[in-house]
Structure 1
């Protein structure tokens, strides 16, 4: 009797077990049961989480609009470059500044072949970088607080941080960058001496055939020296400025923007100063330091005056909505 009852219970388990499994509610996402089980035991990667949050789909109309805009800007750069190419330097790089714009806009331009994109807010860049293709070359062009350095360094395809302006932030970036990686950095120069803008003061050149930098402006020299000698994971790659918009819009066709001239002369003075101090790893020539200058309203003037890279946003993406909540980066391009 006991044996018969045991067999009956065993048969009941075999019969009803599939029914119990079949009655489980279907998962809300479409994938196999084995994948569901794996995801329950393995935390989703940051990139998977951000991809789920950011919509990368775009319409053909928006893609065509963006493509036409960026091609028009590139054509203007090419035309100006053709006029000044004989003066030396390299053809300027176009950085599409996508701050406060959807990731789908970036994806549309990425699919059209563009790779260099700029962001002003570190968290926004982190989110977009995790969701978008890993071969995008990100430029951070906003003010970076030293306590956000670790967040910036966590982006493996951060091509350059353009706004370095303190030894403290340099130290934090160097500490946060993985041992097997090197992060390009530009030092931001406040060429217009405006209080609202970040950056160190420019260097001036004394008159004469062998100009020397003004010894009173040592902050830039000290910062550059520190990067070269104390920050092995950072590479001093150039200088960056936000030129005065009024200087660009009010100048004559032959006058040029004095802020752009100041950045060029600062580069000359810096290279000379580092050489005279015998700083290890100092650039051998001015050409080893890029100049990031020029935005939507003045990029053509910047190209004329020797820019290595222009940062263009509204001409490509259109006007941006105002950022309601104060973020961790100040706007530095339009």
Structure 2
């Protein structure tokens, strides 16, 4: 069933975006099933859960941290995390850089942009993202690379609203991708989840984060 769901989603994506299977709260045996079906990108919300699962899976898994991140948790995943989708401050970037340096790595990061009509979501406002990308302190961070943006649309059945939010994020992406810094190289736009990933792909997403459409609803 998992393999079938992954095949179905990959067919729908038509190579326009890549799938990140959201594996939070899922047991390792289900992740192995997804791996056997060809899935190599797994997204976790919590650092501790990701750090527990990582050694139990093959080394070629690309781990994506998609949940809100606190600075004191960065060190637990710095040795292996591939992409952090939820960067929302310069302070957090500085901590990621510090921990990545200890492992002689460069960690790809996405700036999380606040696009939803909901107070519970995290993220930078567009002008805050612009300020961060132009901050002089960014020059010192040689162990991070800002490769794009991430956004969570409003949890609503109004597809037009969701489309507008994604479209706005893509416009911001296009604008900010002109920023020239040694450690800024936009190539990823992470938007779209189980309920709205097809709209997200139509609006320019390169990474979709899909959980329940693969593994079924969370407990």
What corresponds to 1:198 in structure 2? 122
What corresponds to 1:258 in structure 2? 164
What corresponds to 2:142 in structure 1? 232
Rounded to whole Å, the distance in 2 between the matches of 1:237 and 1:184 is 6
Q: 2:216 aligned with 1:318, yes or no?
A: yes
Q: Secondary structure at the match of 1:191?
A: coil
CA apart distance, 1:174: 0.6
CA apart distance, 1:77: 1.9
Rounded to whole Å, the distance in 2 between the matches of 1:280 and 1:101 is 38
Deviations 1:62-94 (A, max 9, x none): xxx11011112222222xx6xxxxxxxxx2001
Rounded to whole Å, the distance in 1 between the matches of 2:61 and 2:67 is 18
CA apart distance, 1:296: 0.3
Rounded to whole Å, the distance in 2 between the matches of 1:298 and 1:96 is 15
Asked whether the equivalents of residues 228 and 280 of structure 1 are also in contact (C-alpha less than 8 Å), the reply is no
What corresponds to 1:331 in structure 2? none
What corresponds to 1:67 in structure 2? 3
Rounded to whole Å, the distance in 2 between the matches of 1:237 and 1:175 is 18
Asked whether the equivalents of residues 165 and 200 of structure 1 are also in contact (C-alpha less than 8 Å), the reply is yes
Deviations 1:123-180 (A, max 9, x none): 00000002111110011000001111111213x2x11000000111111111111353
What corresponds to 1:127 in structure 2? 52
1:165 to 88, 92, 101: 88
What corresponds to 1:189 in structure 2? 113
Q: Secondary structure at the match of 1:245?
A: coil
Asked whether the equivalents of residues 74 and 95 of structure 2 are also in contact (C-alpha less than 8 Å), the reply is yes
Asked whether the equivalents of residues 154 and 162 of structure 2 are also in contact (C-alpha less than 8 Å), the reply is no
TM-score, scaled relative to structure 1: 0.61
Rounded to whole Å, the distance in 1 between the matches of 2:177 and 2:41 is 27
User: Residue 281 and residue 163 in structure 1: after superposition, are their counterparts in 2 closer, same or farther (change >3 A)?
Assistant: closer
Rounded to whole Å, the distance in 2 between the matches of 1:117 and 1:235 is 20
Larger radius of gyration: 1
- Please state which structure has a larger fraction of its residues in strand: 2
What corresponds to 1:244 in structure 2? 154
Deviations 1:24-51 (A, max 9, x none): xxxxxxxxxxxxxxxxxxxxxxxxxxxx
Rounded to whole Å, the distance in 1 between the matches of 2:92 and 2:213 is 31
* RMSD of aligned residue pairs (Cα, Å): 1.9
Which ranges of 4 or more aligned residues in structure 1 deviate by more than 6 Å?
none
Asked whether the equivalents of residues 145 and 184 of structure 2 are also in contact (C-alpha less than 8 Å), the reply is no
What corresponds to 1:308 in structure 2? 206
Rounded to whole Å, the distance in 2 between the matches of 1:120 and 1:256 is 22
- Give ranges in structure 2 of 5+ residues lacking alignment: none
Asked whether the equivalents of residues 179 and 233 of structure 1 are also in contact (C-alpha less than 8 Å), the reply is no
- Please state which structure has a larger fraction of its residues in helix: 1
